[in-house]
Structure 1
């Protein structure tokens, strides 16, 4: 019987393969390709912050805020729909405008349709939501009432005073001594209190006022006189970046507003007319006699946007308008008008 030679063999330990040598080399800034470089504006909060560690702001809205409060601030379902809509509208109004000052005349062919009221509401809505300065200039050749509708100035200064010191203005403090300011931060430059002096406010005077205002304001609203051919209108239209045309809710007032568009189109202001905003202003209570849908449909064929402003008892009283005390529907209409205005100005600049 043969026996095999059995030997105990101890396996040799496996030697690990030598690790590949890694060279850590930092590239100099000059060696990076242009496409690989990142600018500082790419370091956004959305990119860098972990959403699980970001505290959501306190929600707005009745039920949302109630749930947030009773849960000890643990349950935050976000803003209510109404709050989200309000914030979105504020963002539209507050969108940045590049470049110089923008001029917005508010026009009507007939008195009593609310031109001054709309100027005040538009200015308040803009000033309340924007970070830059907004001014409303009363350029009525006759005695205007814009300052009375916004805030009655205590110093009695007017456009005539700004014309007088135009070459001496060195900063905003010189302007602030002449304008009045309301709670929304809207500045108002009043017309002359003396109607005989106001008649002398001319095309040249308006251009002087506009030149000064352009240095200190982003948006310059102009409450024009009634009509379309008075002494200041030529300068007002030449400087206009956006027109706002006010119509009352009667057949003759609507026709005059539509005829204003025709006059503009036939006198060299076709682009301004077609990009205008028409405001259908209800200045009396109750249901209007005209069919609002038909009226809105007519102007929608002629201009960029149409806005309805409802009747508001505070406005109808004739005193100073307090923006915070207006009916919610009135404030929303004014803010929608302001948003459409800003969007039109941004589209024009694009």
Structure 2
């Protein structure tokens, strides 16, 4: 019979053997994958962005950003838009102008020729030489001569065209005739321009200090007899020129042109007052009528009140628009000269009264002499300003 203490050891031994048998019956490793519950099929992606995985997050590199298109640098001398060329006069009207008429009649031209044969021309040659010397005075910087009047229709644009052609004839440096009156002015027609493209407003947007004279003239209208023209508009009804545009254009173009003749709007327009105040010389066109002379005298009194001496650089062009003028020229001239200005009478000219382009060879002799004298008076005053 076994002892009482041995049975406990037998029980412990049997328990240990049973546990060993159970461990042997178990698998040595757990299954690596367990059955997963049913999941719906994934929908196709709607974008190309990164998606998260069902297990650990995946680090997906972001899609490269599209490179911007390489653009060639724009030439600053070119405007944002290129205007189209527009004829100055409707072609149907251009054919209706007819042949230009000479300013002097045949009888007057014949009489002048006979007088030249009978008298000495020494005095005339000396006077022409003096005027030419004044017109050809050298300038250190460009001179601006502003032309205006108290109202429209008195020959302001005609006088501007005469001055521009006269300066270009006598001077060997560049001369510009600039139109600062956008109210359907007649300066381009008077200067003989057939078509227009660039205006003052267009040029003001593209002017840069690095531009050369050859760059500037590409935007201007070449005049047949020489010189250049810059119109205020394309001959269409639009917004008037503002003071900022006028200042930008005139200050920039003074570097390239020895003389700039500005055809301003009529007084008391804002641009006209600015031009009269900033120009080196001023030409006021007055009609040879009682009311015209009286209104011009009021303008001269206003110029006398400007901070600087404006009257010292002012010349009055007393223009006759009719061959039957009844106002006494001497009395009108004396009344205007009381303010201290110089007065140059412009006689009636059949060629100018005809309208259309001005042909210098068709002007009357008295008109040509008056234009030269007026240009010399204006130039003499312009060079005084430093």
TM-score (norm 2): 0.65
Residue 281 of structure 1 corresponds to: 319
SS of the residue corresponding to residue 260 of structure 1 reads helix
CA 1:198–1:145: 2 relative to 1, 3 Å: farther
Q: Give me the whole-angstrom Cα distance separating, in 1, the residues matched to 2:252 and 2:303.
A: 27
Residue 18 of structure 1 corresponds to: none
Residue 247 of structure 2 corresponds to: 207
Superposed CA RMSD in Å reads: 2.4
Cα deviation, residue 174, structure 1: 2.0
Residue 245 of structure 1 corresponds to: 284
Aligned residues: 270
2:218 matched to 1:181?
no
CA 1:84–1:318: 2 relative to 1, 3 Å: same
Of 328, 348, 354 in structure 2, the residue corresponding to residue 311 of structure 1 is: 348
Of 300, 309, 316 in structure 1, the residue corresponding to residue 337 of structure 2 is: 300
2:128 matched to 1:90?
no
2:168 matched to 1:131?
no
Cα deviation, residue 318, structure 1: 1.0
Q: Give me the whole-angstrom Cα distance separating, in 2, the residues matched to 1:305 and 1:163.
A: 34
Residue 189 of structure 2 corresponds to: 148
Q: Which runs of 5+ in 1 are unaligned?
A: 1-61, 67-77
CA 1:269–1:334: 2 relative to 1, 3 Å: farther
Q: Which runs of 5+ in 2 are unaligned?
A: 1-112
Q: 1:195-274 maps to which residues of 2 (within 5 A)?
A: 195-199=236-240, 201-228=241-268, 230-266=269-305, 268=306, 271-274=309-312
Q: Give me the whole-angstrom Cα distance separating, in 2, the residues matched to 1:168 and 1:88.
A: 37
CA contact (8 A) 1:140 1:224 kept: yes
Residue 158 of structure 1 corresponds to: 199
CA 1:250–1:338: 2 relative to 1, 3 Å: same
Of 356, 374, 378 in structure 2, the residue corresponding to residue 341 of structure 1 is: 378
SS of the residue corresponding to residue 311 of structure 2 reads helix
CA contact (8 A) 1:105 1:237 kept: yes
TM-score (norm 1): 0.71
CA 1:106–1:269: 2 relative to 1, 3 Å: farther
Q: Give me the whole-angstrom Cα distance separating, in 2, the residues matched to 1:319 and 1:328.
A: 19
CA contact (8 A) 2:147 2:156 kept: yes
Cα deviation, residue 81, structure 1: 4.5
Once the two structures are superposed, residues 76-124 of structure 1 have per-residue CA deviations (whole angstroms, 9 ceiling, x without a partner) of: xx98543443333222211222x21121111111111111111111111
CA contact (8 A) 1:110 1:256 kept: no
Once the two structures are superposed, residues 165-215 of structure 1 have per-residue CA deviations (whole angstroms, 9 ceiling, x without a partner) of: 21386111222122223244232111212544342x210000111122111
Once the two structures are superposed, residues 201-236 of structure 1 have per-residue CA deviations (whole angstroms, 9 ceiling, x without a partner) of: 2100001111221110111111111222x2323431
